[in-house]
Structure 1
Amino acid sequence: MDASEEVAPAVQSILSAARERGGGDERVAVDAESLPAAFADAEADGRVPVIAEVKPTSPTTEGERTDDPVALAEQMVEGGAAALSVLTEPEHFGGSPENLTKIREAVDVPVLRKDFVLREEQLDTVEADVVLLIARFVGDDLADLLAAARDRGFQVLVEVHDRDELTRALDAGAAVVGVNNRDLTKLEVDLATFEEVAPAVPEDVTLIAESGISTPDDVVRMREAGADGLLVGSAIMDGSVRENTESLTRAGSQVEDT
């Protein structure tokens, strides 16, 4: 499947660059921190489980955040983030595997590697607690990549955009699913995407809402729709990182699971 034919030009460019990147020289082995356990700890502490994203820039944002990524990560954790997402894609997001390594050494929460992994060898780029696989982009290789990632010790966040992709993710054995509210064709965000997909997710699957979560009201909306956790990037990176994280992790913390 050539997913690049179905997405916006900016995403086509990202995929083209991802196809050209190789992997590490050696197979990695990871002793991962548990993401579901981190979510449970946040809940027990009265916090919304938020994965705060260290994202220097992106095709859908203006400008670039040039702060020390480790300092940003530490502020996110101080603000209550249950876990972190770190961009390792260099050309379009300003990330790097080196940043992830430094951040993971500095914090005591699970760290997700946010990148566009298309081949097994790309799993060996850097150690992380969780790795992202985007169902639309890996196509029929999803089950094999999921197994390869777990064999290395990674937890896997499988990202989907609709119910068809959700079905493929569940059939492949996904235990953690993220629903991305961003339409990859027009790059528009609609929180109703999560609300459409969430009811089809089994209760034993950890469910994460991704993209477009900007305000405490958005947090409450996604939690009421069934989100176990939220992945938030721009709304935290834009301004005071600690204060923004705290605002979202304290929003609607008493919302009942649905």
Structure 2
Amino acid sequence: MNASEGVAPAIESILAAADERGGGDRRLSVAARSLPAALAAAEEDGRVPVIGEVKPTSPTTDGRRDDDPVALAEALVDGGAAALSVLTEPDHFGGSPDALQQVRETVSVPVLRKDFIRREEQLDIVEADAVLLIARFVDDLAGLVIAARERGFQPLVEVHSRAELDDALAAGAGIVGINNRDLARLDVDLSTFEELAPHAPEDVTLVAESGIASRDDAARMRRAGADGLLVGSALMDGDVAANTERLVGAKR
């Protein structure tokens, strides 16, 4: 599979860097905190179930946050985030496995590792509760889903099209992220989630990703069936705790 075919140059660069990165030196075994349970608990508490992202930078945002990632994570949780996502991709997003490890040791909520994982051994870089697997960029999706679960990770399989959603479901994904961003053009359309969500079984946890910048956006995704919302840039711009509190609608 030529995964980079048809994608934006920035994504081609990310994939090339991911292919050059190796794996861990030992097979990990993780006692994961449940991401679906955390999202459900936030809803029961009257909060919008948000996965707040510790996101220093990205190819689609201006500027960079050089704050301590642990401080950013604590601010997200203080604002009411149900779970966290931490970038471990170093070259284009400013993330690191060390940052994820420090965050997970500090907070009590589930932590998703967000990276461009291409091969099984790359799962063994750092412990997390959940790992992102991007359907478009994985050759053996079913095999990688199984490998993640064997280590105790909860795989969150990201899709952008009906074909990718079908592949994710065939691979046994129980948590599916629908990315509103088209990685070919890097533009965002919230209708992507609305179009794909009805095709997912009710027992699959659905996460809406990208383009959620306001309470109205969050409400729109929730009406369309999102069990959780992955939000990064909108929370990182300014006062992280206050931004999160505004989006989730209630503070712990």
Q: Which TM class, normalised by the smaller chain length?
A: over 0.9
What does residue 157 of structure 1 align with? Answer: 156
Matched, 1:66 2:66: yes
Deviation sequence 1:176-227 (CA, Å, 0-9, x none): 0000000111100000100110010100000000000001100000000000
What is the SS of the residue equivalent to 1:3?
coil
When the two structures are superposed, what TM-score results if normalisation uses the length of structure 1?
0.96
What does residue 233 of structure 1 align with? Answer: 232
What does residue 75 of structure 2 align with? Answer: 75
CA drift of 1:122 comes to: 0.1
What is the SS of the residue equivalent to 1:5?
coil
Task: For 1:41 and 1:209, locate their aligned partners in 2 and report how far apart those are by CA, in whole Å.
Answer: 17
Task: For 1:59 and 1:25, locate their aligned partners in 2 and report how far apart those are by CA, in whole Å.
Answer: 30
What does residue 134 of structure 2 align with? Answer: 134
The answer to whether the 8 Å contact 2:40/2:227 transfers is: no
The answer to whether the 8 Å contact 2:54/2:87 transfers is: yes
Q: Which amino acid aligns with 1:90?
A: P
Runs of 4+ in 1 over 6 A off after TM superposition: none
Residues 106-117 of structure 1 correspond to what in structure 2 (within 5 A)?
106-117=106-117
CA drift of 1:40 comes to: 1.5
What does residue 34 of structure 1 align with? Answer: 34
CA drift of 1:167 comes to: 0.3
Deviation sequence 1:141-185 (CA, Å, 0-9, x none): 000000000000000100000111000000010000000000111
What does residue 148 of structure 1 align with? Answer: 147
The answer to whether the 8 Å contact 2:74/2:107 transfers is: yes
What does residue 165 of structure 2 align with? Answer: 166
What does residue 185 of structure 2 align with? Answer: 186
CA drift of 1:110 comes to: 0.1
Count matched residues.
Answer: 250
What does residue 84 of structure 1 align with? Answer: 84
Q: Percent identity?
A: 73
What is the SS of the residue equivalent to 2:32?
coil
Deviation sequence 1:40-64 (CA, Å, 0-9, x none): 1101110011000000000001111
Task: For 1:4 and 1:35, locate their aligned partners in 2 and report how far apart those are by CA, in whole Å.
Answer: 30
The answer to whether the 8 Å contact 2:111/2:130 transfers is: yes
Give the gaps of 5 or more residues in structure 1: 252-258
Q: Which amino acid aligns with 1:91?
A: D
CA RMSD of aligned residues (A): 0.7
Task: For 1:69 and 1:250, locate their aligned partners in 2 and report how far apart those are by CA, in whole Å.
Answer: 24
Q: Which amino acid aligns with 2:80?
A: G
When the two structures are superposed, what TM-score results if normalisation uses the length of structure 2?
0.98
What does residue 195 of structure 2 align with? Answer: 196
Deviation sequence 1:217-256 (CA, Å, 0-9, x none): 00000000000000000000011100111111118xxxxx
Task: For 2:85 and 2:56, locate their aligned partners in 1 and report how far apart those are by CA, in whole Å.
Answer: 12
What is the SS of the residue equivalent to 2:247?
helix
What does residue 255 of structure 1 align with? Answer: none
Task: For 1:168 and 1:5, locate their aligned partners in 2 and report how far apart those are by CA, in whole Å.
Answer: 18
